[in-house]
A and B are shown apart, each in its own frame.
Chain A
């Protein structure tokens, strides 16, 4: 069965303490992997799309990487404003509908 699993469920960091979030997937014929950021009570905000193993994308303190089985979202020297839930998603089935993992709740303390 096609699945998307994110770990850890929650991560608490001190400001400046770098870490990584994991998204593992079991999908035949990956057609892309998407990362979103979601603030409480708001809609998910698109961050990155990765299409092939070895691909990397960067935005400010965030870097997303992709292997054949998983993706990592690396957060370098995080700031309190990076606190949010980070979601990954993959298209499963037809018609481009995205299946989301349950997310990692990141809290960065000053």
Chain B
């Protein structure tokens, strides 16, 4: 157990639907990062939050959004889902100024 908890582990949904992925960071970590991993693209950075504030954005689609709550857990919302959104979604956390991310075990999203 890495200390970063992601739920659910698996999600199967239909095109056009909306889903929410949840992440609880490791105790004491203020930064949360979301990554998407597909077979052809590898790990792609989506967005970073630090202590509730958005700090950096990657190539995140407008249909995707995220937030970090006062208790530091984070949610990634994916809407108007398309087949191409099927992927593994990882959350990682780190302490301030510490590059050593700790990853969760991921959520496998399948859009049918």
**Which residues of A does B touch, CB under 8 Å?**
31-32, 34, 36, 41-46, 49, 87, 89, 91, 93-103
Q: Could you say which residues of chain A place their CB within 8 Å of the CB of B98? A: 96
A96 close to B99 (CB less than 8 A)? yes
Q: Could you say which residues of chain A place their CB within 8 Å of the CB of B8? A: none
B94 close to A96 (CB less than 8 A)? yes
30 pairs, A vs B, C-beta closer than 8 Å? A41-B106, A41-B108, A42-B105, A43-B2, A43-B4, A43-B90, A43-B105, A43-B106, A44-B90, A44-B101, A44-B103, A45-B2, A45-B103, A46-B100, A46-B101, A87-B43, A89-B43, A91-B99, A94-B56, A95-B48, A95-B50, A95-B55, A95-B56, A96-B48, A96-B98, A97-B45, A98-B33, A98-B99, A98-B101, A99-B45
Total number of B residues with any Cβ neighbor in A under 8 Å: 27
Complex partner residue of B31 from A31, A42, A89, A96, CB under 8 angstroms: A96
Kindly report which residue of chain B lies nearest to residue A94, judged by CB atoms.
B56
A105 to chain B, nearest CB (A): 11
Q: Could you say which residues of chain B place their CB within 8 Å of the CB of A101? A: 42
B99 close to A31 (CB less than 8 A)? yes
Complex partner residue of B33 from A36, A41, A45, A97, CB under 8 angstroms: A97
Complex partner residue of B102 from A41, A42, A46, A91, CB under 8 angstroms: A46
B108 close to A97 (CB less than 8 A)? no
16 additional A-B pairs beyond A95-B50, A95-B56, A101-B42, beta carbons within 8 Å, are: A34-B99, A34-B100, A36-B103, A41-B88, A41-B106, A43-B4, A43-B103, A45-B2, A49-B100, A91-B99, A94-B56, A97-B48, A97-B56, A98-B99, A102-B42, A103-B42
